[in-house]
Amino acid sequence: MLTYESIMENSSLVLENRRPLKTRSKAWAQALAKALASSGISPNQISLFSLVFSVVALAFFVTASAHNLFLIFVLLGIQGRLLCNLMDGMVAIEFKKKSAVGELYNEIPDRLADALIILGAGYFSKSHDLAMSLTWVNILLAVLTAYIRTLGASLGNGHKFLGPMAKQHRMALLSSAVVIDLIFKTDAVYIALWIMFIGLVITIFRRIQNLAQFLKLKEKQ
């Protein structure tokens, strides 16, 4: 039998395991999620579609060095990926469309999408000697941040989306850099790769530190 306490406990678990986003409460987001849920599209399909937008971002990043206006499509690809990331969770949770394998579809496409977009930024900046090396390191660190988060969840600490370079921060950074390069044709994307690297190192340190503190407190109880 459901009780108030059990409902609140389950709600807390859901909230703890979801990235806190104010966008979910926006009327347009609610309307779009409702439309997608009504259409019969599953959250897993939305998660996979985020990869399509990531491939678009990668493809136009690669060609934008010759045609700067292609950065517009890079920006659309990044934002489309983020929109899919928002919608898959909303359709799954708010509209009761969760599936047994939903967590797999929620996590694995995200890691691939990150890698594709960061790789695109590297190819766009490849005229700089360290660009590709920096790109591969950033891809590795981005995966590591997610690994530490999910490790923490498996150890009972919940999903801690600590920054300063969590997924939405990485995408916001690259989006801003793309806009700057689109307008001014500078080295903003390359500089963003360095900012991302520094931010990812700090993020990894903070997440490990948070998890270590949790485990120490757990041991004392």
- pTM, 2 dp: 0.90
The CATH classification of domain 27-220, taken from the options 2.40.340.10, 1.10.3720.10, 3.30.460.80, 1.20.120.1760: 1.20.120.1760
- Assign 3-class secondary structure to the chain: CCCHHHHHHHHHHHHHCCCCCHHHHCHHHHHHHHHHHHHCCCHHHHHHHHHHHHHHHHHHHHHHCCCHHHHHHHHHHHHHHHHHHHHHHHHHHCCCCCCCCHHHHHHHHHHHHHHHHHHHHHHHCCCCCCHHHHHHHHHHHHHHHHHHHHHHHHCCCCCCCCCCCCHHHHHHHHHHHHHHHHHHCCCHHHHHHHHHHHHHHHHHHHHHHHHHHHHHHHHHC
Model confidence at 16, pLDDT cuts 50, 70, 90, reads: very low
Ranges of each domain in the chain: 27-220
pLDDT tens figures, 32-68:
999 999 998 999 999 999 999 999 999 999 999 889 9
